[in-house]
Structure 1
Amino acid sequence: MTPFKLTEELVAEIKLLIYNQEDVQLEGLLNEVHYADVAEIINELAAEEATYLIKLLDSDKTSDVLTEVDDDLREAILGNLSSKEIAEELEELDTDDAVDIIAELSEERQQEVISNIEDEEHKEEIKELLKYAEDTAGGLMAKELVKVYDTWTVAGCLRRIRGQAEEVTRVHSVYVVNKQDELVGRLSLKDLIVAKNEKKIADIYISNVDYVNVEDNVEDVAKVMSKYDLEAIPVVDNSKTLLGRITIDDIVDVLKEEADKDYQLAAGITQDVEADDSIIELTRARLPWLFLGLVGGVGAFLIMEGFQDTFNKYAVLFFFTPLIAAMAGNVGVQSSAIIVQGLANDDVKGSINRRLIKEMLLAALNGTILALFLFFFVWVTKGDVNTAFAISASLVVVIIVAGLIGTFVPLFLNKQGIDPAIATGPFITTSNDIFGILIYFWIAKMVLGI
């Protein structure tokens, strides 16, 4: 199969066909194209053109397309569709995907759409899932799964599985429950196939099964699935009643969203924004950290102004100020990035004090190596041992302090329930710049006896 490639010529052709309302040609062109590729095409169209295609193509394809298009475009498309048309799209989707779409509508519109869903079971499942918070296992799970009772025989189980599997896109696992619908285990398809027809499921199911609670945070769910290499995991309530399942594709979306958010936080962007967002939205996301940088710059100015006498006697110190500030910022970001990554992967264990001591020793080693190079450079170029010692000694202390700040801040934020990724961006850089400059001039003043 040749990989799909979106070209300007193809987009132009589709736009022209839409303009001329050449429905037969459009259907012939797109019916055999994968829904993800159709979504890629639609992302290049105006909202009215995209809506035209959604209404033209069959719902069994366009429903999946709607889950893949950009958020802003999907919002515009949904605004152009009637409640009945949206309901027809949702009928073709698994409950988790249907809830993701309907959750973007106003409460009033949600009720209108739900009332137009003809499949009563599908409707009730969507209404149930809407009750769960978006960042919980309940907000991520789908109701579609294959469930069997431990009292069934193998023959009866196989008949019922065939019926259930028709409603499930992918059968990752078969879950076993008791009469109270409590999860008791899982079923190996191999064991099911080779077992005798009259044998009871209670005799062949595997009691060891991983599961998550419906109220668990999605990040915790992702960690469990990653740790045990699971393609799907069942979701239960406090009574261990089986409620649904979460599949790996949903977890990949969660990890991607979290990575995007952390990357933006590290870059000093406080909101989830995209390149195509409005200038106002982009400004709101960027301005807070830019303002923090401005405050940090003013703070550095005030510190340097307080050491004006030092500048007057040793002007050479001024020229090394950017180097000290840059090293403080770089070391701080390196330390915080390692800690944030470790926290995300659940690899940071043990006491904070032990972690700080390790980082202090590491920073001291790196600082000493760099300071030796800087000492000889200043000594050779300026011919003053005292000045060279003052600058290089300052560098060692600055690197140690920056490493400690970069390690402590994300650990502290994590303890307080704040996303530690915020510590890898301008916050760490600015704070270390200020501390670095203050330490630099203070040590230089002491060593040079000013």
Structure 2
Amino acid sequence: MIPFKLTEELLSEIEQLIDDRQDDALHTMMEEVHYADIAEIINELNEDQATYLIKLLDSGKTSDVLTELDEDVREAILGNLSSKEIAGELEELDTDDAADIIAELPREIVQEVISEITDREHARDIVDLLRYDENSAGGLMAKELVKVNENWTVLTCVREMRHQAENVTRVHSIYVVDDEGILKGRLSLKDLLTASTKAPIREVYIPKVDFVNVNEKPEEVAKIMSKYDLEAIPVVDEIGRLVGRITIDDIVDVIREEADKDYQLAAGISQDVEADDSIWELTRARLPWLFLGLVGGVGAAAIMGGFESLISQHAILFFFTPLIAAMAGNVGVQSSAIIVQGLANDDLKGSITQRLVKEMMLAALNGLILAAVLLLFTWFWKGNLPTALAISISLIAVIVVAGIVGTFIPLFLHRRGIDPAIATGPFITTSNDIFGILIYFWIAKLLLGIG
């Protein structure tokens, strides 16, 4: 398969076809194009052109296109569709995707759209999903699945599976429930095919099955599915009834969104923003951490001002200030990044004390190696051994403290229920800059005997 590439020439051709209302040519052009690629095209069109193309194409394709569009583009297009047209798109979607789109609609038209959905069971399932918090397994799951009763025979089971599978895009697993709908296990296709047609399912199914509760956080669902290499996982309510399933495509979206959020936090962006957002939105997201950097810089300048006499007698200390600050920030970010990654992957072992001790030993070793190189350089450069020793010993202390701070803060934030990714950005860098400069000049003053 040749990867799709949207060129300026192709986009111009599509725009011209839309403006000239060349419907047949557009149908022919889009017939073999994947819905994700059509979404890429629509994201580049103006609102009128995008709406025209959505209305022109069959709902069987455009419904999937809508799920791939940028949120602002989708909102604009939906605003140009009637309630009946929106309902037609939702009927082609799985319940989880349909519920996501319904949740984005203005409240005043939600009921009208739902009433236009001709498949009433589909509509009920969508409404049911809207009851769940979007940041939960219930808000992530779809209602489409294949389930069988433990009291059925294999023959009855096969017949029912055929009927249910008509409404399921992909059958990842077959779940077994009792008369109350309680999840009991899963059914192996191999066991089903080799069992007697008269055998009851309770003698065939596998009782061991991984599942999550409707209130589970999406991040925890992602960890479970990743750990056990699951393509889908069933979701149960508070009393264990099977109410839906979460598939791997939904989890990939969760992982991507979490990675984007963590990356922005690490870069010092406090809100979820995109490059195309307004200047005001981007400013609100960036300014808080830039302000923190300003405060940190002012604090560092004030600290240096307190050691003015030391700097005046040993001017070389001033020239190494950027190096000390940079090393403190770099070591802190490295330490916090490792801890945040361990917390995200749920593979961090041992107590906080053990982690701090390990990081302190690691930082001390790195500090000794770097300090030795710095000692030789400074000694040969200036020929002043006491000053070179003071700078090198300060570097060791700064690196050790930065490693401890970079380890402790994300662990502390995690215990407090705060996203530890915030600790990998300007927060750690700024705090370690201040601590580093304070420790640097304090040790230098102590070792050089300046009153």
Q: Shorter-chain TM-score category?
A: over 0.9
Where 1:257 maps in the other structure, the secondary structure is helix
Match of 1:309 in 2: 309
CA distance in 2, matches of 1:401, 1:112: 61
Match of 2:98 in 1: 98
Runs of 4+ in 1 over 6 A off after TM superposition: none
Match of 1:349 in 2: 349
- 1:238, CA displacement in angstroms? 1.7
Match of 2:89 in 1: 89
CA distance in 1, matches of 2:109, 2:294: 44
CA distance in 2, matches of 1:366, 1:111: 63
Structure-to-structure mapping, 1:203-222, within 5 angstroms: 203-222=203-222
CA distance in 1, matches of 2:109, 2:402: 52
Match of 1:437 in 2: 437
Structure-to-structure mapping, 1:75-154, within 5 angstroms: 75-154=75-154
CA distance in 2, matches of 1:348, 1:130: 35
- 1:151, CA displacement in angstroms? 0.9
Where 1:234 maps in the other structure, the secondary structure is strand
Structure-to-structure mapping, 1:175-254, within 5 angstroms: 175-254=175-254
Residue type at the aligned position of 1:34: H
Match of 1:291 in 2: 291
Which has the higher mean CA deviation after the structures are superposed, 42-51 or 420-429? Answer: 42-51
Checking the alignment, whether the CA contact within 8 Å between 1:177 and 1:184 is kept in structure 2 is yes
Which has the higher mean CA deviation after the structures are superposed, 108-117 or 80-89? Answer: 108-117
Which has the higher mean CA deviation after the structures are superposed, 41-50 or 56-65? Answer: 41-50
Where 2:93 maps in the other structure, the secondary structure is coil
Where 1:196 maps in the other structure, the secondary structure is coil
1:364 paired with 2:342, answer: no
- 1:341, CA displacement in angstroms? 0.1
CA distance in 2, matches of 1:351, 1:407: 12
Unaligned runs of 5+ in 2: none
Where 1:244 maps in the other structure, the secondary structure is strand
- 1:112, CA displacement in angstroms? 2.0
CA distance in 1, matches of 2:330, 2:413: 20
1:422 paired with 2:422, answer: yes
Checking the alignment, whether the CA contact within 8 Å between 1:145 and 1:244 is kept in structure 2 is yes
Paired positions, count = 450
Unaligned runs of 5+ in 1: none
- 1:2, CA displacement in angstroms? 2.6
Structure-to-structure mapping, 1:393-432, within 5 angstroms: 393-432=393-432
CA distance in 1, matches of 2:47, 2:435: 51
- 1:106, CA displacement in angstroms? 2.2
Match of 2:339 in 1: 339
CA distance in 1, matches of 2:46, 2:193: 51
RMSD in angstroms over aligned alpha carbons? 0.8
Percent identical pairs in the alignment equals 72
TM-score, with length taken from structure 2 = 0.99
CA distance in 2, matches of 1:349, 1:417: 18
CA distance in 2, matches of 1:422, 1:307: 32
CA distance in 1, matches of 2:112, 2:441: 67
Deviations 1:87-124 (A, max 9, x none): 11000000001011111112222222112111110111
CA distance in 2, matches of 1:390, 1:396: 10
- 1:331, CA displacement in angstroms? 0.1
Where 2:104 maps in the other structure, the secondary structure is coil
Where 1:43 maps in the other structure, the secondary structure is helix
